[in-house]
Structure 1
Amino acid sequence: MSEGIVEDVRWRGSWAVVAGSTGGAGREAALRLAEDGYSIVVCGRDGAGAEETRKLIEWAGGRAVDLVVDLGDAAAMRRLIAETVGVVAGAPVEVLVNNAGEADYGSTEDVFDMVFNRNVKAPLVLTGAFAPLMAERGRGAIVNVGGFGALAGDSGQVQAAKAALIMLTRLWAAEYGPKGVRVNFVDPGHTFSSAQEHRAKRDPGYPHGVPVGGGGPVEVAEAIRFLVSPRAAAMQGALLTMAGAVGAAESYGCPSALA
C-alpha cells in the first residue's frame, strides 16, 4: 500500500473550496471537511448563509472564510478565484467541491443558459483554476455533485447539465488522475431539500419509485467526505450513486441508466 493511501486525512494547513456551501449538503460537507482539519473557503450567493456556515465552522474550532459570489456570473467567478488565492496566501488548496447548482422547472429553452452556467460553467472554471495547482503538487481531490436528472430526465428541467458534468468528471479524471488528483461524482438522488419540498407540493406522489425515500444533506455530505478522504484513494472518475436514485431511475423507464 502506497504512502499516499495510508496518509492521515487531516492535511493540516490545507484548504478546501466548497462551492455552494451556504446551506444544505454543501454546508454539511464544509462542516465535515473542517472536522477533518481543512480550512474552508465557503462560497455561494446567500451572504447570510455563507456567514452562518463560517461561524459554525469557527465555533467548532475550525478556520473558514466566506466569499459571497454568484457562481453563474463569469466575472464573479474570476473574483472568487482571485480572492481565494489571496486568502490562502500560498497554502495549498487540496480539495474542491463543486456543489453549487441550479434547477428550474421552466421550459428547457427558457432556462438553458442559467442552468448550464451554474451547473457546468462554474465547475469548469473552478476546476480549471485549482486542478492544475493540485497537479503541480501531486495530490488533491475534486468532487462534483449532481442530481437525479443526470441519470434519467425529469420533466421541465435542464438536467442535461448534470449529465454533462458527469462526462467532465471522467475527462478530468483522465487528465489529472496520472498527476495525483482524484476527480469523482456524487449523484445524491432524491434528497430532502427546499427544492424537493417545492416539487412535492406540486406533485403529491413525488418522489416516485424511491425505495428508501431518499436521503438528506447529511448523507450527501458523508458521501462527499468519503470521496475526499484517503479511504477513496482507489476511486477515480467514479459515479457514486446514492440508493434512493435506483428506484427513481427505473420508474422513469431507465433501469439501464445505472449500469
Structure 2
Amino acid sequence: MTELAGCTALITGGTAGIGFATARRLADAGAAVIITGRNPQRGHQSREELGPAAKFVAVDMADQAGVERLAREHEFDILVNNAARFPAGLTVDQDESEFTHTFAANVRGLYFLVAATVPTMIRRGGGAIVNVTSMVASKGVPGASVYSASKAAVEQLTRTWAVEFGPHHIRVNNVAPGPTATAGVAAEWGETNEKLGRALPLGRTANPAEIAEAIYFLASPRASFITGTTLHVDGGGTAV
C-alpha cells in the first residue's frame, strides 16, 4: 500500500512502543518517517529496523531548544505527537520537579512543536496532526494525576487547534489509548497496567500495533473530514 507516498511523517517518541509501531505502519503505507527519542543507541537501532525511508533525530521534548531545532530543520506533512512522560504515583507523593518535567514534555514541548510546524504545513498546502493522549484524560485512575492532567490539556488543545488550523487544511485529532503492553509502561506501572487491562470490557491490554492502526487512520486521507475529535482505542474503558 502506498497511500502515503510522497508524504513525510514525524513521530515523536518513535523509537519504541506505540511510536515505533506507528512509524512502521506509516512507512508501510509509503511515507518517509522521522522518529525522535532521547536514547541515540535505541534510536539508531529503530531506524535500521524501519529501513531506508526512516531517519532518527535525538531530541528530548522537555528541552525547548531541541524542540525548536527539530521544527527548524525538518519539514513534514504528518505530525504524530506521541512522546510523553507517564509517572505513576499518588498526588500526595508527587514532587514539583516530576510535575514540572512531565508538563514540559507532554504539553509545553508538544505545544511549541505544533506552533512551529503549522506555518510550514500551511505553505505545503495542509497536513494532519495526531496527538496521542490517554484513556485517563477522561477517566479517573489512582496514581495517574500528573499524567492524566497533562493529557487532558492536550485534548483541549486539539479541539482549539482544529478550529484555528482547519481553514488552512490542517486536521488535528487525538487518539486516546487504553492500557497498552509496552516496555516503557511496564517499567513505570508494572502489574498495575495489566490489572487495568483485565478490568476493561475486552479484558486485556492493547498491542501497540492496534493503537498504530487508529493513528494511521486519522493521519491518512481516509479521515479527510475528521478533525477536532478523540478516537478512544481503549477496549471499552471509557464505556464503564
TM-score, normalised on structure 1?
0.82
Measured after TM superposition, the shift of residue 195 of structure 1 is: 4.1
Bigger mean CA offset, 219-228 vs 205-214: 205-214
Letter in 2 for 1:160: A
Confirm or deny: 8 A CA contact 2:83 2:106 kept in the other structure. Answer: yes
Indicate whether 1:53 and 2:46 are aligned.
Answer: yes
In the alignment, what sits opposite 1:182? 171
Measured after TM superposition, the shift of residue 83 of structure 1 is: 3.3
Residue identity over aligned pairs, in percent, reads 36
Letter in 2 for 1:155: P
Letter in 2 for 1:165: V
- Which of 10, 15, 18 pairs up with 1:17? 10
In the alignment, what sits opposite 1:104? 87
Indicate whether 1:234 and 2:235 are aligned.
Answer: no
Measured after TM superposition, the shift of residue 67 of structure 1 is: 0.8
Measured after TM superposition, the shift of residue 248 of structure 1 is: 6.0
Q: 1:9 is paired with a residue of what secondary structure?
A: coil
Measured after TM superposition, the shift of residue 105 of structure 1 is: 1.8
Give ranges in structure 1 of 5+ residues lacking alignment. 1-7, 85-91, 251-259
The whole-number CA distance in structure 2 between the counterparts of 1:240 and 1:151 is: 12
Per-residue CA distance 1:108-159 (angstroms, 9 max, x = gap) = 4532111111111121111111122112333200000012221113222311
In the alignment, what sits opposite 1:255? none
Confirm or deny: 8 A CA contact 1:208 1:248 kept in the other structure. Answer: no
The whole-number CA distance in structure 2 between the counterparts of 1:200 and 1:178 is: 44
Q: Give the alignment of 1:1-259 within 5 angstroms.
A: 9-12=3-6, 14-58=7-51, 62-84=52-74, 93-106=76-89, 107-110=93-96, 111-157=98-144, 158=146, 159-198=148-187, 199-201=189-191, 205-207=195-197, 209-212=199-202, 213-244=204-235, 246-247=236-237, 250=240
Letter in 2 for 1:73: D
Letter in 2 for 1:187: A
The whole-number CA distance in structure 2 between the counterparts of 1:175 and 1:209 is: 38
Q: 1:16 and 1:147, CA in 2 relative to 1: closer, same or farther beyond 3 A?
A: same
Structure having the higher Rg: 1
The whole-number CA distance in structure 1 between the counterparts of 2:41 and 2:108 is: 25
Q: 1:153 and 1:64, CA in 2 relative to 1: closer, same or farther beyond 3 A?
A: same
The whole-number CA distance in structure 1 between the counterparts of 2:232 and 2:215 is: 11
Q: 1:197 and 1:15, CA in 2 relative to 1: closer, same or farther beyond 3 A?
A: same
Letter in 1 for 2:33: I
TM-score, normalised on structure 2?
0.88
RMSD across aligned C-alpha pairs, in angstroms? 2.0
- Give the count of matched residue pairs: 231
Q: 1:155 and 1:11, CA in 2 relative to 1: closer, same or farther beyond 3 A?
A: same
